[in-house]
């Protein structure tokens, strides 16, 4: 099979936004009972973020270097996270409705930015019309084949009574679709087409493995790509994902295997084990440079190269504790991981606020309101992230060049990205002591004696290649990037 993925994705830097918590516009009328923006988030409370607020912050995102936005769900829902969908054709009124989404799409596209939205198609909500119909009418409803009903009466709101239907993880709020029903399949496929027709640039698919049907996802892909062949389809798969990444279903997945490798190496023994436990990438174990290199290479070896370039490389998300909290506040660990993220094949994704040092334990604490008062930012961290993104934009080899390991010993890893004559070497020291690293470049024919490793990030020192080797001095907890010239 000739595997194709969207040409723009390897060159994108995503910024993940949890809409209720990123930005709120005064242009929209708000409900009267909202949580204070700066108060600790709760499971059910709303803070009132909206899509026009995002429009007003597009300058901020562009200044950072983001070129694409991934939104967690934006459809009408009674949950602050909006994974309980009421209406798949209506943007939540609290977010500004369909009109605000149109304004956002137009504003983002005018800046060359892409917008990917979240598709929750395994389950709906108790308020979803077709489920609510059965809830009201019981056995007489004509839509009994839309869900998995076991018995009546249903007990969707009564604790300690059997639900009478299948729900995701047994949560009453989330009745599971019966995707074997042709009408359900057609409904979902039409929703998928509709929002791509409206201008969305792709779908992130929530828990797609729970729809255990390759033909469903193959048809989903065909219907979406028929509208826009460059639409991005990325699945939430936490583990190795060969089944879905053969070119006939998804373009990529949320690359939590990359996350796991970065936590194991850059955080290592400083890891907050409780925060890294009980999520899809667990267990996380400390690894040395050789172990880290092995994990990176194994991950790349699982898939076709075009799939590797379309992976969504995350360090954390709305479903995990924030990287900085897992690292017990070690900003250098986050800096190193971010630089590696910008040098690794696939599209980097920054979870909103990571760049200014936001902390957060597991849900709901990982979904705090963005601190727009700049006095609360770690400006050194934000500057580092901004420069790392700019580095990736400056060198195409970092986006779609070949990948190799030049060195992996002790606490130091060096990688090579190469595209034609452009060759970039990135060196990462996860250790607490500075060291001199001897890079053997004999296996890279284009790097000849007399070549120079010219500093591009993290240092002003440049090094000459002699005897097919270069000796580089690197400080503790430091990342350096060189151009070969």
The answer to whether residues 347 and 424 belong to one domain is no
The answer to whether residues 341 and 416 belong to one domain is no
Cβ 247 vs Cβ 304: under 8 Å: yes
Which of 480, 398, 403, 465 has the alpha carbon at shortest distance from 434? 480
The answer to whether residues 49 and 181 belong to one domain is yes
How many percent of the chain have pLDDT more than 90?
A: 98
Q: What is the CATH number of the domain that holds 463?
A: 2.60.40.1180
Which of 419, 446, 411 has the alpha carbon at shortest distance from 345? 419
- Per-residue pLDDT for 180 more than 80? yes
- The reply to whether 1 falls in a domain is no
The dihedral built from the CA positions of residue 327, 293, 348 and 390, taken in this order, carries a sign that is positive
Angle, helices 331-343 vs 379-394, to 10°: value is 10
Using left for φ > 0, alpha for ψ between -120 and 50, and beta otherwise, residue 447 falls in: beta
Please say which residue of 370, 394, 418 terminates a domain.
Answer: 394
- The reply to whether 167 falls in a domain is no
- The reply to whether 280 falls in a domain is yes
- The reply to whether 172 falls in a domain is no
pLDDT in tens, 48-97: 999 999 999 999 999 999 999 999 999 999 999 999 999 999 999 999 99
What stretches of 26-158 show up as alpha helix (H) in DSSP?
51-56, 58-64, 97-110, 129-137
Please say which residue of 394, 418, 448 terminates a domain.
Answer: 394
Q: What's the distance, CA 292 to chain centroid?
A: 21
Q: Can you give the residue range of the structural domain that contains 228? A: 9-122+177-394
The answer to whether residues 360 and 463 belong to one domain is no
- The reply to whether 162 falls in a domain is no
Identify the pLDDT of residue 366: 98
Cβ 50 vs Cβ 21: under 8 Å: no
| Predicted structure pTM score | 0.97
Q: Can you tell me the distance from the alpha carbon of 339 to that of 391, in angstroms, rounded to the nearest whole number?
A: 9
Which of 204, 203, 144, 205 has the alpha carbon at shortest distance from 175? 144
Identify the pLDDT of residue 73: 98
Identify the pLDDT of residue 159: 85
Tell me the DSSP string of 334-369: HHHHHHHHHHSSSEEEEETTGGGT----STTGGGPP
Identify the pLDDT of residue 57: 98
Would you mind telling me the total number of residues written for the chain in this entry? 485
Token pair, residue 424, equals 């970039």
Work out the angle at residue 204's Cα, subtended by the Cα atoms of residues 201 and 205, and round it to the nearest 5 degrees.
135
Tell me the DSSP string of 222-250: HHHHHH-TT-EEEE---S--GGG-SSSS-
The answer to whether residues 186 and 117 belong to one domain is yes
**Would you place residue 446 in the very low, low, confident or very high pLDDT band (cuts 50, 70, 90)?**
confident
pLDDT in tens, 408-431: 999 999 999 999 999 999 999 999
From the number of C-beta atoms within 10 Å of its C-beta (0-12, 13-18, 19+), residue 140 rates as exposed
Lowest average pLDDT, out of 346-350, 376-380, 403-407, 446-450, goes to 446-450
Strand order in the sheet with 478-484: 402-409, 412-419, 422-429, 478-484, 452-457, 463-464
The answer to whether residues 194 and 237 belong to one domain is yes
Distances (CA, A) of 448 to 56, 470, 484: 50, 11, 10
Identify the pLDDT of residue 465: 97
- Per-residue pLDDT for 1 more than 90? no
Identify the pLDDT of residue 189: 98
- The reply to whether 100 falls in a domain is yes
Tell me the DSSP string of 74-103: -EEESSSS--SEEEEEEE-GGGTHHHHHHH
- What does DSSP assign to residue 195? H
The answer to whether residues 385 and 421 belong to one domain is no
The answer to whether residues 218 and 334 belong to one domain is yes
The answer to whether residues 212 and 319 belong to one domain is yes
Task: Report the pLDDT averaged over residues 369-385.
Answer: 98
The answer to whether residues 272 and 304 belong to one domain is yes
Work out the mean pLDDT of the chain and round it to a whole number: 97
Cβ 445 vs Cβ 470: under 8 Å: no
pLDDT in tens, 216-272: 999 999 999 999 999 999 999 999 999 999 999 999 999 999 999 999 999 999 999
Identify the pLDDT of residue 142: 98
Q: Can you tell me the distance from the alpha carbon of 10 to that of 125, in angstroms, rounded to the nearest whole number?
A: 35
Q: What is the CATH number of the domain that holds 364?
A: 3.20.20.80
The answer to whether residues 381 and 471 belong to one domain is no
Q: Can you tell me the distance from the alpha carbon of 279 to that of 69, in angstroms, rounded to the nearest whole number?
A: 24
- The reply to whether 249 falls in a domain is yes
The answer to whether residues 439 and 469 belong to one domain is yes
Please say which residue of 362, 394, 426 terminates a domain.
Answer: 394
- The reply to whether 13 falls in a domain is yes
Q: How many domains does the chain have?
A: 2
pLDDT in tens, 341-360: 999 999 999 999 999 999 99
- Per-residue pLDDT for 450 more than 80? yes
- Per-residue pLDDT for 445 more than 90? no
Token pair, residue 96, equals 């500004």
Catalytic residues: 206, 236
């Amino acid at each position: 099979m000739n595997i194709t993925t969207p040409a723009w994705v390897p060159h994108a830097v995503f910024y993940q936004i949890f809409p209720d918590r990123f930005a709120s516009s005064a242009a929209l009328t708000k409900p009267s009972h909202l949580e204070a923006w700066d108060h600790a988030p709760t499971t059910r409370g709303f803070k009132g973020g909206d899509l026009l607020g995002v429009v007003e912050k597009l300058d901020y995102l562009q200044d950072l270097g983001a070129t694409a936005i991934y939104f967690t769900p934006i459809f009408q829902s009674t949950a602050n996270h909006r994974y309980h969908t009421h209406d798949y054709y209506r943007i939540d009124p609290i977010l500004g409705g369909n009109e605000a989404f149109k304004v956002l799409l137009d504003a983002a596209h005018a800046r060359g930015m892409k917008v990917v939205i979240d598709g929750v198609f395994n389950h709906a909500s108790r308020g979803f019309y077709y489920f609510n119909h059965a809830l009201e009418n019981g056995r007489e409803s004509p839509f009994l084949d839309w869900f998995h009903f076991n018995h009546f009466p249903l007990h969707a709101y009564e604790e300690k009574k059997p639900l009478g239907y299948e729900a995701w993880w047994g949560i009453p709020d989330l009745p599971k679709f019966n995707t074997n029903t042709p009408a359900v399949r057609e409904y979902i496929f039409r929703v998928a087409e509709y929002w791509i027709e409206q201008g969305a640039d792709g779908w992130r698919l929530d828990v797609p493995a729970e729809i255990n049907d390759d033909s469903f996802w193959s048809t989903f892909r065909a219907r979406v790509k028929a509208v826009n062949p460059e639409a991005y389809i990325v699945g939430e798969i936490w583990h190795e994902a060969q089944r879905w990444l053969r070119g006939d279903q998804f373009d990529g997945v949320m690359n939590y295997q990359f996350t796991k490798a970065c936590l194991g190496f850059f955080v290592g023994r400083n890891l907050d084990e409780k925060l890294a436990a009980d999520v899809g990438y667990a267990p996380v174990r400390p690894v040395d440079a050789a172990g880290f290199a092995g994990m990176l290479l194994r991950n790349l070896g699982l898939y076709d190269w075009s799939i590797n370039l379309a992976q969504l490389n995350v360090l954390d998300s709305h479903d995990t504790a924030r990287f900085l909290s897992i690292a017990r506040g070690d900003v250098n660990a986050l800096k190193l991981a971010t630089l590696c993220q910008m040098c690794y094949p696939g599209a980097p994704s920054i979870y909103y606020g990571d760049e200014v040092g936001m902390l957060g334990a597991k849900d709901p604490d990982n979904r705090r309101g963005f601190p727009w008062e700049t006095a609360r930012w770690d400006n050194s961290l934000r500057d580092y992230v901004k420069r790392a993104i700019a580095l990736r934009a400056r060198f195409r080899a970092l986006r779609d060049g070949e990948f190799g390991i030049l060195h992996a010993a002790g606490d130091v890893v060096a990688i090579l990205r190469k595209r034609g004559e452009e060759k970039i070497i990135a060196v990462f020291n996860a250790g607490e002591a500075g060291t001199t690293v001897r890079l053997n470049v004999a296996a890279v024919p284009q790097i000849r004696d007399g070549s120079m490793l010219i500093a591009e990030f993290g240092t002003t020192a440049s090094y000459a290649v002699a005897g097919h080797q270069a000796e580089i001095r690197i400080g503790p907890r430091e990342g350096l990037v060189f151009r070969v010239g």
